[in-house]
Amino acid sequence: MVTCTKCGMQIDKSDKFCKNCGTTMATRYVKHFARVRMNEEDFVNNINKWLWENDRLGNIKCKFDYDSSLGFFVNKFKLTGVVLEFEVFDSAIVNVYGIDIIDETSFFSHMDKDELLYEWKQNNSDTEIVSVGGGTHHRGDSFSAASGIGGTQSGKLYVFYKYRRKK
């Protein structure tokens, strides 16, 4: 017998879920990826390669670590690390996980996080967004703020997604 970490109920060792509260009894693992002397695209590609090669991982949660600094026109987001929490299964699972970067800068138009994600989802309709990091920033003068036109808009979002593995 083991004890559920959430509700304290005693359950059989072979049970995958607590019969009282439904909490999974699988062991969770954590993998940290730190970006050191590598451009952002290569960093994300390395993580995606690792996710593809480890096809027995499932129920993955992702946390993005990033810095935000003021650039010449807009805030700049820079991915510095990724933390994945996951379970390991006995065989390959049906979902494939990955990370994508939405990097958008525009002049004289307004965009927000929801609009960027909606557009990304339209181009990736077979995927499910699991988590998102990053953000958007608008910078302009008082005229552009009052009129709703002008200024510079930037957005850099980090999307952790999953889709069903093709047979």
Q: Can you give the pLDDT at residue 97?
A: 96
Best CA proximity match to 165, nearest among 100, 98, 83, 85? 98
Rounded to 5°, angle at Cα 58 from 157 and 136: 10
The share of the chain scoring above pLDDT 90, in percent, equals 40
Residue 9 region by backbone torsions, left for phi larger than 0, else alpha for psi between -120 and 50, else beta: beta
In total, the chain counts a number of residues equal to 167
Enumerate residues 6+ apart whose C-beta is below 8 A from 123: none
Q: How far apart are CA 77 and CA 68, in angstroms?
A: 5
Q: What is the pLDDT of residue 138?
A: 55
pLDDT score of 123 more than 90 = yes
Domain boundaries, the chain: 25-164
Instruction: Check pLDDT > 50 for residue 141.
Output: no
What is the rounded CA–CA span in Å between residue 113 and residue 157? 8
Question: What's at 117, amino acid-wise?
Answer: L
Structure tokens at 52: 């593809």
Confidence of residue 130 (pLDDT cuts 50, 70, 90): very high
pLDDT digit string, tens, across residues 32-84: 999 999 999 999 999 999 999 999 999 999 999 988 776 555 556 788 999 99
112 or 130: whose pLDDT is higher?
130
Percent of the chain with pLDDT over 70: 79
